[in-house]
Amino acid sequence: MLCSSLSMERLTFPFLFLVLSILSPSDGGSIGVNYGRIANNLPSAVKVVQLLKSQNINRVKLYDTDPAVLKSLAGSGIKVTVDLPNQLLPSAAKTPSFALQWVRQNVAAYHPSTQIESIAVGNEVFVDPNNTTRFLVPAMKNIHQALIKFNLHSTIKVSSPIALSALQSSYPSSAGSFRPELIEPVFKPMLDFLRQTGSYLMVNAYPFFAYESNANDIPLDYALFRENPGVVDSGNGLRYFNLFDAQIDAVFAAMSALKYDDLEMVVTETGWPSKGDENEVGASLDNAAAYNGNLVRRILTGGGTPLRPKADLTVYLFALFNENQKNGPTSERNYGLFYPSEEKVYDVPFTVEELKGYRDKRKSSSPVAGGGRLSTPVSGNVSPSVAGQTWCVASGEAGKAKLQPALDFACGEGGADCHPIQPGSTCYDPNTLEAHASYAFNSYYQKKGRAIGTCYFGGTAYVVSQPPSAYSYHFSLALAVLLY
């Protein structure tokens, strides 16, 4: 049957999603939390450790080496990641004795009673306004040498969390690459160091930021791990069902481009705010609960990403508490899983056992194309009464500079079925940008139920009441499949 692959995918994915949801895996990934303390109303460190244990959270990441916190974690069985702050990078890089003393006072003095498993040297150093990038790798090496002197190097890993802004390209995922100016001076020596020491790359990934900035283009279901048709990576043909996996694979692809396929990754921060300012699209209690709950299910049910299917991930949720003294927009103070009172902000599972009773409590249908805020250009006298007989076509006047990015989105994050317009496929001809864009735009439009706001594509598309003669055969096939 011509152009029929979409119908099978639409039948297969919900079934696969259901199977994955009810499995009781024995070997999945691991969930931890970030314990930030930029607040003046948090419970004592002793109470925090009791809270972590009561929730069966067995990994925690700190942003410093506060003695009270490290002492409270002693004997708890909770694995700990500590941080050497950015402001100490120059000293740790220039003076090996400083690094040795820091490890003695902040790591060796507590381990192994406090199970420190890794040291984050700095945090998102490349976006640090104090320009500490050049000190990063030397500091990492000196900290590792200090661990060797205390015979801790085999049990405590050294790494440094990077933000996704370290990528030059992240879409599609297969095109992931690091910023050119960072490759030779930082990434190659850092990745060499991680390989030599048996460590892993730490990555902070926030689908919320991508959704907030591109809510008209990124479906909310895709960002929240909810059921959706998926997005095909035009570079490798892999299909993604959530933005998190796509972001992680962009980093894996960037590592692969530099021949570091053997390195593992730990996601040291990810989360979604439960509250935000009026312009912070998507910041809400329901969305935060859905993102974190579905993420935990995604991680604990095992399996890696489409690019690394066998690589289970360790992921640290951000953050344990709402922190009332953080600067910036409202969202910055509302990433917490718990209020300072230790009450949950929303229900989220932390263990495989809790997953058995977990359901994504969806209160309303997802916005269309990011909330339906777009107004659709309409050609002719098309009215809602004939909405079932409308098609979305590309504007020949839009030009290649606008059409190509719109086509890339439709076939990528938009989730349009673009296999039939690939070279050699049944709907490849006519081989023009306008024809291919029309096919992809219409695929997206029909999948979205021909809803208002889904035939826009930055002003490069419009609605018609009859399929254009040049593409009518292909459009009829496509529509038949979409409505199968």
Positions annotated as catalytic residues are: 124, 269
Structure tokens, 483:
């409505």
Nearest residue to 62 via CA among 101, 33, 90, 103? 33
481 exposure class (CB count in 10 Å sphere: 0-12, 13-18, 19+): buried
The CA distance from 340 to 38, in Å, is: 12
3-state helix, strand, coil in the chain (%, to 5): 40, 15, 45
Structure tokens, 438:
């029309």
Question: Could you give the residue ranges of the DSSP H alpha helices within 314-371?
Answer: 352-355
Structure tokens, 463:
């609605």
Contact (Cβ atoms closer than 8 angstroms) between residue 211 and residue 220: yes
The CA distance from 232 to 448, in Å, is: 17
The CA distance from 234 to 172, in Å, is: 7
Structure tokens, 478:
């496509």
Contact (Cβ atoms closer than 8 angstroms) between residue 477 and residue 417: no
- The residue behind tokens 């209690």 is 285
Q: At what angle do helices 5-22 and 472-482 cross, to 10 degrees?
A: 30
